[in-house]
Structure 1
Amino acid sequence: MARANSHTSVALIVGVTGMVGCSLVELLKKPTTSGGPWKVYGMARRQLPEWFPSFLLDDFVAVDALDNNDTIEKLGPLAPKVTHVFWVAIQLCEDEQVNVTSNSTMLNNVLGTLKSDPRSPLKHISLQTGTKHYMGPIFDPSLAGQLVNHEPPYREDMARLPYPNFYYALEDLVASYSPSVTYSVHRSSIIIGASSRSFHNALLTLAVYATICRYQGLPFRYPGSKYTWEHFCDMSDAEVLAQQHVWAAVTDKAKNQAFNCTNGDVFTWKSVWRVLSEAFDLEFVPFDDEDERFDWVGFMKDKEKVWEEIMEKYGLIQTRVKDATCPEACSIVLHLGFQHVCSMNKSREFGFFGYADTLKSIPIWVQRLRDMKIIP
């Protein structure tokens, strides 16, 4: 009973089944994690998948945060308990203005429900966004060819771009609760982690592609441009992101600040392709100019039946290619005409030193996906 009353911090992870949500759960339940002992509530739109470590959660609520009534009904009972919100949820469609509306509605419904209770002990909101902050809405086809991005490496003090961007709207929303509630913003790069429930999961997309190539005896062709094959990019390990979220939540100096969060190194996609080829026991295929004409998005859309065969053969959990992968988004990133690189100087200056070796992280996360029976 003494243990049950010893929690000094109560976390609500919104988007708990995504890559970073999973890593946050694991980190917060470690006895050595700062700010603890932590009680951890998870929230997502759907019920927990079978691979999720539900035993780590103190409770879970399935909530449609777009529905204010559902949010009040399901989340209201937690309002007198939650001290920290970790927002790693996202709703995405091609139209960025729609993204602004839907994501703002979700965040507003959740925070409004929590803060409407006069007993609310909420003191910090940790918001995850990304490098689209510096590039603009690159996935909105109506703006294709019109965007002008900042020159990399990206720094947190760069001005906002003159395009609709739901990241800007969410930052403004959490800032509106200050000073009674502090906040932190975490701008990730391409996230690598393990989940079948993330909207943009580049690693799972490439893992499914590699698995299909091996299953069908096809060459593992690079579905991007020569520029990205040769030039620098960076990634964000889900565990490093989780570490930064928690660090900012319990560090006074980090309050009301925005931070980039990447692994701290850079790579070329050529080097990643070697790592993936080895991880999936595939022959490394050097880039060829013919690859520029490879309709990879069409290739992936045509592989639902093949993936069903693979799932049945290897006893995998049930997923659909169109739900678990994001070839359209990956293709855009793999055809960028500039180096996708962030500066981590501000984080280091403020005292966060988390890092990961990207080329070593990738096979670790591939193995995690295998252990979870998401890929063979």
Structure 2
Amino acid sequence: MEQEVPNTSTPVALVVGVTGMAGLSLAEALKSPTALGGPWKVYGSARRAKPTWFPSSTLDHYITFDALNFDDTLKHLSPVAHEITHVFWIAIQVRENEESNIVANSTMLENVIKALKSATPSRLCHITLQTGSKHYMGQIFDPVLGAQLVHHEPPFHEDMPRLPYPNFYYALEDLLASYSPSLSYSVHRSSIIVGASSRSFYNALLTLCVYAIICKYQGLPFRYPGTKYTWENFCDMSDARVLAEQQIWAAVMDRAKNQAFNCTNGDVFTWKCFWKVCCEIFDVEFVPFDENEKFDWVGMMKKKGRVWDEIVEKYGLYKTNMEEIVCLEAVDAVLHFDFPHVCSMNKSREFGFFGFANTLKSIGMWVGRLRDMKIIP
């Protein structure tokens, strides 16, 4: 690719992990005529080729490279490295344990920063890092750590001390801080993200959509697989649009530099209310929760891969394997929390960010997006 002479007045974003839920919403928000600090030029990158459901008009250019390989990263970013002013880091790799997560994710982020800073001159000035509420709970999906974690008491707030366990979120924050003051950064700790993509590792909404669709297709009851506690107590979510709005805000506001912010919708919900919304959307009967009726939801769903294949074929959907688009164990863990999963948004508001979303109202919109993208029927 021939190098262009950059317009030094135009901010140029690189969204790493652009095909995920948050990445797609971020790219769309950056290209909006009303985006803060804009108009933006937007490059998006991912490990794999662009899926057919991804709107091409959202990006100025799509780049594919393996961030774990520095030579491959440098090769594909060198032609645009002199343009990039802001990196929005949405990428994630999930490995078998947390020590491996630290190595893989730190390597990817450092490779991208080094490749961009190698430009002469480099315009890179800010890195936006997306992490999550496991900052306060520990890495709950680690096969060894998960059973011994002691989490902070909710509501979670940003000045809580780090937990005494390995956590790749901490490693990525430390990596960004090591580049100060030559680069500023912001950290965005999401809750359960709700958005539209077939390529997000943790996609609770799509997982529950697939569950409801299979129940409807096979005439099965759409039963709640969690506990009475989570059925009745509060939880929060992060609409991908709110997350994008906060990330852009922090990237252009001086007062937000080198700060960490929780990012949720600003409201709370119960899974009972969430379940009723899903029943309406997918036209399945609402089944009241009965704590005496235990069932192996994860085990049942793991046997439904061929059923999903039938559904994909019948409705002409974007080709997916069920195992690649659901996160059964992760959702099951959330639905078995014994504490309210709630993050404080006070710091974010005190710094001047007031974005919000109505969680239960947003579900129908995002399911509509998934249907429009032909990911679900």
The interval holding the TM-score normalised by the smaller chain is over 0.9
| Contact map agreement 1:7 1:37 (CA 8 A) in 2 | no
SS at match of 1:184: strand
Partner of 1:303: 304
Q: Specify whether residues 165 and 44 from structure 1 end up closer, same or farther in structure 2 by C-alpha distance, changes over 3 A only.
A: same
**Structure 2: where are the runs of 5+ without partners?**
1-5
Is residue 2:278 matched to residue 1:255?
no
Is residue 2:347 matched to residue 1:346?
yes
- Paired residue type of 1:106: M
| Contact map agreement 1:263 1:354 (CA 8 A) in 2 | yes
Could you tell me how far apart the structure 2 residues matched to 1:45 and 1:225 are?
37
Q: Deviations over 1:206-236 (max 9, x none)?
A: 0000000000000001111111111110000
TM (norm. structure 2) is 0.97
Partner of 2:375: 374
| Contact map agreement 1:223 1:294 (CA 8 A) in 2 | yes
| Contact map agreement 1:297 1:328 (CA 8 A) in 2 | yes
RMSD: 1.1
- Paired residue type of 1:221: R
Partner of 1:71: 73
- Paired residue type of 1:339: P
- Greater shift, 308-317 or 233-242, is seen at 308-317
1:196 to 191, 198, 216: 198
Partner of 1:9: 11
2:268 to 266, 269, 272: 266
Partner of 1:277: 279
Q: Deviations over 1:87-136 (max 9, x none)?
A: 00100124111111100010011011111223110011000000000000
Partner of 1:180: 182
Report the Cα offset of residue 5 of structure 1. Answer: 4.8
Could you tell me how far apart the structure 1 residues matched to 2:146 and 2:367 are?
32
Could you tell me how far apart the structure 2 residues matched to 1:329 and 1:372 are?
24
- Paired residue type of 1:222: Y
Q: Specify whether residues 283 and 207 from structure 1 end up closer, same or farther in structure 2 by C-alpha distance, changes over 3 A only.
A: same
| Contact map agreement 1:7 1:39 (CA 8 A) in 2 | no
Could you tell me how far apart the structure 2 residues matched to 1:64 and 1:288 are?
47
Partner of 2:246: 244
**Structure 1: where are the runs of 5+ without partners?**
none
Could you tell me how far apart the structure 1 residues matched to 2:177 and 2:313 are?
48
Partner of 1:234: 236
Report the Cα offset of residue 56 of structure 1. Answer: 2.1
SS at match of 2:374: coil
SS at match of 1:187: strand
TM (norm. structure 1) is 0.97
| Contact map agreement 2:186 2:250 (CA 8 A) in 1 | yes
Question: How high is the sequence identity, in percent, across the aligned residues?
Answer: 69
Report the Cα offset of residue 32 of structure 1. Answer: 1.5
SS at match of 2:32: coil
Could you tell me how far apart the structure 1 residues matched to 2:9 and 2:329 are?
43
- Paired residue type of 2:332: S
SS at match of 2:144: helix
- Paired residue type of 1:154: F
| Contact map agreement 1:204 1:325 (CA 8 A) in 2 | yes
Runs of 4+ in 1 over 3 A off after TM superposition: 4-7
Partner of 2:3: none
Could you tell me how far apart the structure 2 residues matched to 1:290 and 1:19 are?
36
| Contact map agreement 1:300 1:321 (CA 8 A) in 2 | no
Could you tell me how far apart the structure 1 residues matched to 2:7 and 2:85 are?
15
Could you tell me how far apart the structure 2 residues matched to 1:118 and 1:365 are?
42
| Contact map agreement 2:139 2:146 (CA 8 A) in 1 | no
Could you tell me how far apart the structure 2 residues matched to 1:76 and 1:326 are?
35
2:172 to 170, 173, 189: 170
Q: Deviations over 1:138-164 (max 9, x none)?
A: 001212331100000000000000001
Q: Specify whether residues 233 and 7 from structure 1 end up closer, same or farther in structure 2 by C-alpha distance, changes over 3 A only.
A: same
